[in-house]
Structure 1
């Protein structure tokens, strides 16, 4: 069925689920499968309509086939188009196996009056990110081929400083190259990412800069050193309107009791 071009596109972003092959896999004391289930249940209650589900990296902690199968299974109830991109913890080969026969790793999606572009900023074996020449040229082409569509660009690593000193070295290393491409294309409305396990909402020129909570552990904002907070797991929702306007917010599982265990497996 063709999407009504004047209707807003209803989007849910899930990020940094850090799933394991084992059902009891935990991160700093939090069972990541359980927390994702709770976030999905919340999003389904709050978002009766979801047109597009965006998973912005670190779906898996251990890169196992079972972890991606689990992510697929737990998010299937949205009954929406889904798009994934890799984070620094993900295994791209395992992701590709999970996505076989699906459009999960499709990099460009046109829906309504919008074009959504998914970028791969993973550097294998590293925590920081880089957009290689292929990603940058693909982005440039995708934008220039759609001058009349509003564009949402997604990646994993943060492209701007976020007031967390310890995360400065593990963000996107060539953000200037990204912004050089984006600045040449006025139809770009927003840049959306994961990785930082916290909410971020600012603007750069006419572009909205957005990041979102993890579906598991949260990093405390404004910290010099690695610090985990007791904020609840959550997700971001977006309404992409036909005129280019964006409505968005973050929702958290407020009845989730966070029990951190720093003697358990770490990040």
Structure 2
């Protein structure tokens, strides 16, 4: 059984193959409301089917990264289940918090602005300021969630931690967090992106070995670039948001998805999104 969290990964060919899954939105098994129960069942089955499909592909998986919103309501038993499923793969994994991991929304049947946001304590197994190293890469995990809020923040203390890690190690680097840090041209969700991003980007200027940033939160596939860094947004394992719209909308045709990242021993990166087979 792999210990959690891992700090070091070694692979036979020095290439690191990462499976990123995000925005699972799992709920408690017993729900009285039939609509929410159906949604809960869909998200649960979709998460397990995504994991099964990805790990049955013809690619070695060295690490699974879960970039937040593991749950739809904070409940220790749901995390227990998720961690049991991930541990059963016998593959190292790392999980970080999203807004739903630190905030419950009361009144889910109401329009968003009428809901009550309730601050919750993050599960102790969700990582912050955690590093995993391989022979040729360093992976840096930060928690962008704010208790009681939908939007996120890259805190000054996290920026300083990143600076220290990037200064101390010249290996190519990947940063993982939940909230997106570049506008994706959807006004409604861009109001809920990470705050303090300009300070973050300014502080990252000296570090040319920062290659990749991955996030969740947007429930869609996007690729952006800034300062020589490739910034990936990744689909949810559950439902998707419609891209490039200013008002909230689901992408009814968007299937659950996941992202592969291949980090080569020369610092090169290959990445693509796969969708769940129907």
The residue number in structure 2 matching 1:37 is 48
Gaps of 5+ in 2: 1-7, 103-119
The Cα of 1:219 is off from its aligned counterpart by 0.3
Structure 1 stretches lacking a partner, 5+ long: 256-267
Residue 193 of structure 1 pairs with residue 204 of structure 2: no
Alignment match of 1:216 (pick from 238, 246, 268): 238
User: Relative to structure 1, is the Cα distance of residues 248 and 56 closer, same or farther in structure 2, using a 3 angstrom cutoff?
Assistant: same
Scaled by the length of structure 2, what TM-score is found?
0.83
After superposing on structure 2, the runs of 4+ consecutive aligned residues of structure 1 that deviate more than 3 Å are: 23-30, 91-94
For residue 205 of structure 1, report the CA deviation from its aligned partner.
Answer: 3.1
TM-score (normalizing by structure 1): 0.87
Q: Aligned Cα RMSD in Å? A: 2.1
Equivalent residue for 2:14?
Answer: 7
- Answer 1 or 2: higher relative contact order, Cα 8 Å, separation at least 6: 1
Aligned partners of 2:221, 2:15: CA distance in 1, in Å? 23
- Conservation of the 8 A alpha-carbon contact between 1:83 and 1:105: no
Tell me the CA shift for residue 74 of structure 1: 2.2
1:58-77 Cα offsets, whole Å, 9 max, x none, are: 01111100111121122234
Instruction: Name the residue aligned to 1:85.
Output: 96
Which residue number corresponds to residue 199 of structure 2? 177
Q: Kindly tell me: are residues 133 and 81 of structure 1, through their superposed partners in 2, closer, same or farther at Cα, counting changes over 3 Å?
A: same
Q: Distance in 1 between matches of 2:13 and 2:202?
A: 30
CA deviation profile, 1:206-246 (whole Å, cap 9, x unmatched): 21110100000000101110000121101001100011100
- 2:97 counterpart of 1:69: no
Q: Say if 1:5 and 1:242, in contact at 8 Å, map to a contact too.
A: no
CA distance in 1, matches of 2:223, 2:77: 33
Query: CA contact under 8 A between 1:30 and 1:217: conserved in structure 2?
Result: no
How has the CA–CA distance of structure 1 residues 21 and 181 changed in structure 2, closer, same or farther, with 3 Å as cutoff? same
